[in-house]
Amino acid sequence: MNAPVKLAMTLDKLPMRKRAKISAIDWTSMSENEGAQIRNLGLEEGVEVEKLYQGMFGLHDPIALKVGRMMIAIRKLHASAISVDILA
Amino acid sequence: MSLATPLIVLAGNPNAGKSALFNALTGARQKIANYPGVTVERKSGHFQMSDGRPVELVDLPGSYSLDPTSPDEAVTRSVIQGVQEGERKPDAIIIVLDAANLDNHLRFALEIIALGRPVVVALNMVDLAERDGLTLDPAKLEEALGVPVVPTVAVRHRGLDELSAALAKRLDDKAPIKVPAFITEAGTGHERIQLAKKLANQTVISETAGRRWSERADALFLHPVAGPIILFALMFVMFQAVFAWSEAPIGWIEGATEWAAATVDANLPSGFIRDFIVEGAISGVGSVVVFLPQILILFLFILVLEASGYMTRAAFIMDRLMATAGLSGRSFIPLLSSFACAIPGIMAARSIADPKDRLTTILIAPLMTCSARLPVYAIIIGAFIPARDVGMGVGLQGLVLFALYLFGIVGAMVVAVVLRSTVAKGPNSGFLMEMPKYQVPHIRDILLGLWQRAWIFLRRAGTIIFAATVVLWLMLSFPKVPLDSPVSQVEYSAAGRIASVIEPVVAPIGFNHEITLALIPAMAAREVAVSALATTYAIDATDEEQEAKSLTERLQSRWSLPTALAFLAWFVFAPQCISTIAVTRRETNGWKWPSFMVAYLFVLAYIFAGITYWTAVALGL
């Protein structure tokens, strides 16, 4: 049997109100300091997130995520470095 | 046992309620200073433990880990490790945790506990955790961590005695500290995240749906259409309130100033001392203290918005707009504060992690129309702009005032774009921020914050502004003009002679002799320009009739409309505030950036005052 085809989904493209699990983070695309800040906010591989809100004026940037019991803001630029698997 | 007062530090994540706990423990007697050589605030106070022993408490900057991502976090780390310059090694650490956010906050706690220092954990905001439907077992957490865990609600002063007792016990316990092996073994960030999650799950006994009104509130405040509308409505109400609510208290202060002047006038023999106190000290300081109500109203809004958690939502909404100027939503709060006064605004820029972002925000903060410009704008608009209705109930005077605010904001954004591609060049900064749950602000914390702001302002009025007014008065009064001289006192005085030297420089942009005179003392603070013009015309008055004229009437008879408009344009940009320059020097650790700021603002002020004057003259105004 073939393995299910996995589409590459990044956090910035995740539909609203969908829960997803972080599969990979491209740490090389950001500075060490930004990486540390992202880790500090609880984002790392294996963590579940949910996209709650996005930026105003129809520009969809930045994004508000629920991580654990916390809500955090992140820009599209950083979100695009975070790959996720949508949870059913 | 050492005889010195034990030093206790408060450590924890941002939004753990650390400052509320600090306020609750120490009360209003707090000392705010800077750590040597860095622009990180050191907030300290004293309190007595339940057994009466005094301890010193220091509120460390909120941190996510001992792996610093900002100067603030670097100080937190070195204080905890006992290597910070200007700080003793702490005798104990109180770790403050948000009870509703344990899986995130326990990470930092684990990192501190692993150091083997004396630690007490305050499990804070347990009431909000319960509201969220969480049932916690603090005893279980205490057992797992091997350190005392005390449930607290700092804003309601609950659990403080228990915390103090646990602290006293911890200080007296001289046995070597044994850290559980599983904590020291969790050496990497990833391992700590896993462990924190495990411990959090053990501590939470049950979780029901609870009242999630915080999330429901966000559905409204962060709504893509309603969100920005609410934000702008709030801003509108805020600026309206600054003017509407301040009318009565301003009247009281003016009344008190007049009463003080009249009392001194009646009880002192006429002469130098009386003139000095009445014309110099009382009228000078009084003309500045008059702004205290407006500043406090603006800060009341800012403090409430901050304490409620709304300010981070405002930053979220504004982020995309700020990005077009090369900034991030984090700059919104410092810039908003700058409408009250650039000084707290520049200090609030400390929360911006990116150094280039922070520098740009500091450099453009003086372009936000601070409350010190209001008296200048108010007197000129009142004298030269007719109180005409331009339709739909909008007055022309208000419209001009609004235009001046807008001029400053647009100017700031353009300057930011230029700075971000020149002196503050760097990659577009990110916007990574925690958005805490909404909370009902606690009145005691708000009042404490207001009191601190009022005190800073009054101290400024009592020192810099007082000194500037007095010096100007002396320079205008001496040397005394000979009785038979055709020259006026102002022209003859020391200040008048200095102004004559500068005048040729500002004459092309329409500034007359009196303006030049007023600009010199107004270097100390913008609002001094008004009292300086008043003093100048008062000393210059040749007879009783002239003296009785109001400042407005004098301005109307002596200034042309283009001159008045140029004067307004000048004050949109001119960096006329010693305190702002001083705070910029402190926050940027040197004279380079304040010098740059002063230079670019004067150049812009000159250019725009000039353009305004020449255009107005060409139009025949």
Q: Give the model confidence (pLDDT) of B35-52 as tens digits.
A: 877 767 888 999 998 888
Q: Which of A34, A54, A58 sits opposite B430 (nearest CB)?
A: A34
pLDDT of residue B123 exceeding 90:
yes
Taking CB atoms and an 8 Å limit, are A77 and B317 in contact across chains? no
Residues linked to residue B41 through DSSP beta bridges, in sequence order: B34
Write down the pLDDT at residue A6: 54
Q: Please compute the mean of the pLDDT values over residues B371-378 and round it to a whole number.
A: 84
Write down the pLDDT at residue B555: 86
Please give the ipTM for the structure prediction.
0.91
Q: Suggest the residue from B77, B431, B439 to mutate for an interface test with chain A (most A CBs closer than 10 A).
A: B431
pLDDT of residue A1 exceeding 50:
no
- What is each CA distance from B238 to A76, B299, B514, B583, in whole angstroms? 31, 10, 35, 26
d(C-alpha B80, C-alpha B586), whole Å: 25
Taking CB atoms and an 8 Å limit, are A73 and B316 in contact across chains? yes
Q: Please compute the mean of the pLDDT values over residues B342-371 and round it to a whole number.
A: 87
Q: Please compute the mean of the pLDDT values over residues B432-444 and round it to a whole number.
A: 88
Q: Please compute the mean of the pLDDT values over residues B196-208 and round it to a whole number.
A: 85
Q: Please compute the mean of the pLDDT values over residues B190-212 and round it to a whole number.
A: 81
Taking CB atoms and an 8 Å limit, are A37 and B430 in contact across chains? yes
Write down the pLDDT at residue B1: 45
Contact B572, B605 (CB under 8 A): yes
Q: Suggest the residue from B192, B222, B317 to mutate for an interface test with chain A (most A CBs closer than 10 A).
A: B222
With pLDDT > 70 as the criterion, what percentage of chain B qualifies? Answer: 95
pLDDT of residue B153 exceeding 80:
yes
Burial of B85 from C-beta contacts in 10 A (0-12 / 13-18 / 19+): exposed
pLDDT of residue A5 exceeding 80:
no
The tens digit of pLDDT for each residue in B317-336 reads 999 888 888 898 989 989 98
Write down the pLDDT at residue B544: 57
CA distance B430 to chain A (A): 6
- What is each CA distance from A4 to A1, A7, A65, in whole angstroms? 9, 10, 27
Assign B559 to helix, strand or coil.
coil
Question: What is the CB neighbour count within 10 angstroms for residue B187?
Answer: 11
What is the DSSP-derived secondary structure letter of residue B156? G
With pLDDT > 90 as the criterion, what percentage of chain B qualifies? Answer: 34
What is the pLDDT confidence band of residue B533, given thresholds at 50, 70 and 90?
confident
Tokens at B292, concatenated? 């205290």
Write down the pLDDT at residue B548: 57
Contact B303, B333 (CB under 8 A): no
- Chain A residues with CB within 8 Å of chain B CB: 30-31, 33-34, 36-42, 44, 47, 52-59, 61-62, 64, 67-75, 77-78
Write down the pLDDT at residue B344: 79
Taking CB atoms and an 8 Å limit, are A53 and B317 in contact across chains? no
Taking CB atoms and an 8 Å limit, are B317 and A52 in contact across chains? no
In angstroms, how far is CA B55 from the centroid of its own chain? Answer: 29
pLDDT of residue B571 exceeding 90:
yes
pLDDT of residue B485 exceeding 90:
no
- What is each CA distance from B131 to B96, B208, B212, B213, B411, in whole angstroms? 19, 10, 8, 10, 46
Contact B381, B400 (CB under 8 A): yes
Indicate the average pLDDT of chain B: 86
Q: Which of B193, B218, B434 sits opposite A53 (nearest CB)?
A: B218
What is the pLDDT confidence band of residue B465, given thresholds at 50, 70 and 90?
low
What is the pLDDT confidence band of residue A55, given thresholds at 50, 70 and 90?
confident
Write down the pLDDT at residue B360: 95
Indicate the average pLDDT of chain A: 85
d(C-alpha B247, C-alpha B249), whole Å: 6
Higher pLDDT, B267 or B520: B267
d(C-alpha B145, C-alpha B113), whole Å: 8
What is the pLDDT confidence band of residue B340, given thresholds at 50, 70 and 90?
confident
pLDDT of residue B605 exceeding 90:
yes
B17 sits in the region (left: phi over 0; alpha: psi -120 to 50; else beta) called left
Nearest to B30 by CA among B47, B10, B45: B45
pLDDT of residue B97 exceeding 90:
yes
Phi, psi of A8, deg, nearest 5: -70, 115
pLDDT of residue B428 exceeding 80:
no
Q: Which of B323, B427, B435 sits opposite A64 (nearest CB)?
A: B435
Sole residue written with tokens 């301890």: B55
Nearest to B7 by CA among B110, B87, B95, B126: B87
Q: Please compute the mean of the pLDDT values over residues B233-254 and round it to a whole number.
A: 83
What is the pLDDT confidence band of residue B541, given thresholds at 50, 70 and 90?
low
pLDDT of residue B368 exceeding 60:
yes
* Range scoring the smallest mean pLDDT among A12-26, B454-468, B559-573: B454-468
Q: Please compute the mean of the pLDDT values over residues B580-603 and round it to a whole number.
A: 90
Taking CB atoms and an 8 Å limit, are B65 and A40 in contact across chains? yes
